[in-house]
């Protein structure tokens, strides 16, 4: 599997594979907010000193407040990707039902750990038979949503047998009403949160784990003394406390998604899913369309497991929107 098939964001590889493509490249492959949180000022201490407990607590408290949970229900991490890979070292389910399609690293991590993995579009139906269920909500790449009450029913069924419901909420800042944080700390539920998608600062590597205390302690022991950089802590504390920016950004992303839908509809394409950070489209020869766009310097997300789907992120400005519209009509 090539790097762009796995995650998107491999712009360096695209430049090598398509050297004649016009510049600048437009990267629509990642589903990350193209208008990142703007206040990136840092104190000298954030870069020159080891991260302090005070900095950690300030970021954790702001994050917990934005989520609507208590600070002691979560720990911080350098993104959520590492958490996906650490969980199999902390809980050891023999059988795991994983939503499909979804973020591919979940199945990879549990398969590597030796679990029997069931990839299914209906993982909640396995709540009475498997040891763990993994979903992403809202889902990536198709934007599918799971009702928190239905998820809680599955959590209770799993918890009664010592099992786990693991929820990747990397895109939950877009639709916080669907978050399972209302059940934070309850038996049988583990929630992964990510800073980079909604706040548009994936390079800061900041995330959180929300789970019962024994799980938090086990993961914290593995993350070590300074799990998150001072720069990430300082910016994260500021961004999560800025509720006005978050509310305005949800509106801005919704308007941009409407414009993207108009572009797609104008050329006979329509989304079959997505979120307000990306659209998931179905077309008979998606890989040919990927190649067509890439030759014009526009990089979208293709999938090894599907020849009929693409994920298209939000263009950052009118010029990028115009280039996408023109490239789709070639």
Per the structure, the count of domains in the chain is 2
The answer to whether residue 135 scores a pLDDT higher than 70 is yes
Shared domain for 140 and 196, answered yes or no, is yes
- Give the whole-angstrom CA distance, residue 327 versus residue 330: 6
Shared domain for 176 and 324, answered yes or no, is no
Shared domain for 221 and 139, answered yes or no, is yes
The answer to whether residue 24 scores a pLDDT higher than 90 is yes
pLDDT at 8: 84
CATH code (residue 14): 3.90.1150.10
Average pLDDT over the chain, rounded to whole? 96
CATH code (residue 102): 3.40.640.10
pLDDT at 330: 82
Return the axis-axis angle of helices 230-241 and 53-67, rounded to nearest 10°: 30
Query: DSSP assignment of 128-147, as one string?
Result: TT-SEEEEESS-TTT-----
pLDDT at 305: 85
Shared domain for 13 and 116, answered yes or no, is no
- Domain range enclosing 64: 44-241
pLDDT at 5: 60
Shared domain for 282 and 313, answered yes or no, is yes
Q: What percent of the chain has pLDDT over 90?
A: 95
Is 93 in contact with 130 (CB distance < 8 Å)?
A: yes
What is the average per-residue pLDDT within 274-293? 96
Query: How do the residues of the chain divide into helix, strand and coil, expressed in percent and rounded to 5?
Result: 45, 20, 35
Sign of CA dihedral 16, 20, 22, 28: negative
Q: What percent of the chain has pLDDT over 70?
A: 98
Mark which of 241, 267, 297 sits at the end of a domain.
241
Omega cis (within 30) before 141 = yes
pLDDT at 25: 97
pLDDT in tens, 232-254: 999 999 999 999 999 999 999 99
pLDDT in tens, 176-208: 999 999 999 899 999 999 999 999 999 999 999
Residues contacting 114, CB < 8 A, separation 6+: none
pLDDT in tens, 138-191: 999 999 999 999 999 999 999 999 999 999 999 999 999 999 999 998 999 999
Read off the pLDDT band of 6 (50, 70, 90).
low
Q: Output DSSP code: residue 8.
A: S
| Of 78, 105, 61, 69, residue with least CA distance to 207 | 78
Mark which of 206, 241, 276 sits at the end of a domain.
241
pLDDT at 7: 75
């Amino acid at each position: 599997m090539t790097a762009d098939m796995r995650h998107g964001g491999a712009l360096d590889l695209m430049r090598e594979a398509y050297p004649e493509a016009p510049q600048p490249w437009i990267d629509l492959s990642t589903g990350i907010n193209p208008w990142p949180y703007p206040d990136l000022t840092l104190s000298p201490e954030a870069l020159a000193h080891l991260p302090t407990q005070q900095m950690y607590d300030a970021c954790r408290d702001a994050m917990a407040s934005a989520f609507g949970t208590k600070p002691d229900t979560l720990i911080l991490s350098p993104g959520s990707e590492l958490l996906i890979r650490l969980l199999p070292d902390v809980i050891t389910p023999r059988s795991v039902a994983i939503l499909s399609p979804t973020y591919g690293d979940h199945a990879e991590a549990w398969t590597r750990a030796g679990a029997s993995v069931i990839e299914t579009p209906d993982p909640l139906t396995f709540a009475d038979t498997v040891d763990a269920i993994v979903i992403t909500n809202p889902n990536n790449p198709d934007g599918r949503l799971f009702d928190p009450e239905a998820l809680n029913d599955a959590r209770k069924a799993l918890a009664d047998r010592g099992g786990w419901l693991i929820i990747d909420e990397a895109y939950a800042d877009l639709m916080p009403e669907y978050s399972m944080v209302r059940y934070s700390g309850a038996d049988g539920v583990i929630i992964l949160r990510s800073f980079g998608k909604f706040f548009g600062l994936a390079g800061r590597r900041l995330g959180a784990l929300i789970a019962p205390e024994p799980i938090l302690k086990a993961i914290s022991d593995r993350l070590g003394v300074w799990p998150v950089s001072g720069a990430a802590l300082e910016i994260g504390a500021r961004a999560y406390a800025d509720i006005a920016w978050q509310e305005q950004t949800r509106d801005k992303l919704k308007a941009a998604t409407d414009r993207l839908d108009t572009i797609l509809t104008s050329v006979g394409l329509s989304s079959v899913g997505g979120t307000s950070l990306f659209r998931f489209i179905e077309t008979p020869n998606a890989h040919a369309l990927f190649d067509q766009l890439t030759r014009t310097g526009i990089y979208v997300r293709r999938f090894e497991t599907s020849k009929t789907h693409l994920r298209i992120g939000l263009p950052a400005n009118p010029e990028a929107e115009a280039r996408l519209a023109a490239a789709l009509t070639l």
